[in-house]
Amino acid sequence: MVKDSPKLSYTAAREEVAGEASPSFTHPRQTPHDRLALALAGLLAEGNRPPCGDGSGAWTSEDRDERTMAARACMPCPLLTVCREAADSTKERFGVWGGRDRTQPAGKRKGAT
């Protein structure tokens, strides 16, 4: 059964993501990925998009050099911290998240031969 999450106004969502929400406006069950989704929605609502939204695929490329360039492109992103926290929370092991290449070397990947 899926529970309805509270409806958030755009301003309230931005304040919550930025850590500026009032103490009465908290959601203890909100995950780092929820916060990332809210922040991304806010950015898109402003008519902006994060660097990883360029359609290039560099953030999930098999090519290490492309991922390195993607990680550098993350640095000015306003979602950098919340993206990194989301990846940390689920122990992402592939792709660039929050300016870090989390791809495991081929020999260390689960199931690698």
Q: What is the mean pLDDT of residues 84-93?
A: 96
Q: Which amino acid is at 105?
A: P
In this structure, is residue 25 part of a structural domain?
A: no
- Asked if residue 112 lies in contact with residue 106, where contact means CB atoms within 8 angstroms, the answer is yes
User: Which tokens sit at 53?
Assistant: 């939204």
Is the pLDDT score of 7 beyond 50? no
Per-residue pLDDT reduced to its tens digit, 14-57: 555 555 554 444 556 899 999 999 999 999 999 999 999 999 99
Q: Which structural domain range is residue 71 located in? A: 11-18+31-49+58-105
Is the pTM here over 0.75, yes or no?
no
In this structure, is residue 100 part of a structural domain?
A: yes
What's the number of domains the chain is made of? 1
pLDDT of residue 111: 52
